[in-house]
Amino acid sequence: MNNVSLPVNRIYKDRLYKMIFNDKSELLKLYNAINGTHYDNPAMLTITTLDNAIYMTMENDLSFIIDMRLALYEQQSTVNPNLPLRFLMYIPDIYSAYTKDMNIYGSKKVQIPLPSFVIFYNGVKSQPDRTEFLLSELFHPTTDQPALELKAVMLNINKGHNQELMNACHTLRDYSEYVARIRTYSAEMPLTDAVEKAITECIHENILRDFLLKNRAEAKAMSIYEYDEEKTLRMFREEGYEDGERNGKIQATIEMCLEFNLSSDAIVQKLMTKFQFSENQAQEYLDNYIAQNS
């Protein structure tokens, strides 16, 4: 990393997006852009972001309260329909801390901030400007009248998307441009060089200029780590899909053989021929299938 040395857990914890918008002034601008509001005092923000140093298993990207409104923001490079469930897991700790000095067992209603849940998507797969995910879509069995609901809105912040939002929040627009340049340049040169070129250009062109000048080394390390992680996770997902698809075909083959009352030896031979297994591999797949379905 060209002599950039940061502890991996620090890099993993402090994503570039999170580091940029941890600044209350920038976070307030982002909130105003999303909600069409015009708050101008960053001191109005009360940060409620969960830190796993305190909450041992819970850590979210950004959350805060302003004017009795609770906003939870997550940045994702993949589409995750389970985020409403994750948001649901964050909420109890935030509300517990907010109401710790209130009498929630009394007869008088307590007042809690109105929540909203936003996902900022900047992955490589094509997505619309806006997508909604509902907690009730995860329920099984399904119901038209869920007793519990949570709606998360995913906003595509890739370059060329949500232009009105980008125009309203120049920092978000700059972040989108910076990420786009790294992806473009990394297809042409080593990742370290691509990040260095993107940073140099952005500073020269007044894109995240102040932030990058102040935090150049750390921003470079984070960007390299995040892009490497994004590519690695994408590779694992693709391999996982291929493995799942292959396992499904193996299972279907075994089931078809059983329907025709083929012997175990005949099934093993079929698996060896169709999937280029050794005899031991084919026998292991058959034994596992029988054990799971007996």
Instruction: Answer yes or no: pTM beyond 0.85.
Output: no
Class of residue 39 by CB neighbours under 10 A (exposed 0-12, middle 13-18, buried 19+): middle
Nearest to 95 by CA among 58, 40, 139, 120: 58
pLDDT of 203 over the 60 cut: yes
- Which helix (H) or strand (E) covers residue 8, if one does? helix 8-13
Task: Compute the distance between CA of residue 228 and CA of residue 265 in angstroms, rounded to an integer.
Answer: 46
DSSP string, 95-111: HHHHTTTS-TTSSSPP-
Structure confidence by residue, pLDDT tens digits, 38-64: 999 999 999 998 764 333 344 578 999
Structure confidence by residue, pLDDT tens digits, 262-292: 788 888 888 887 777 788 888 888 888 887 7
Structure confidence by residue, pLDDT tens digits, 140-179: 999 999 999 999 999 999 999 999 999 999 999 999 999 9
pLDDT of 2 over the 80 cut: no
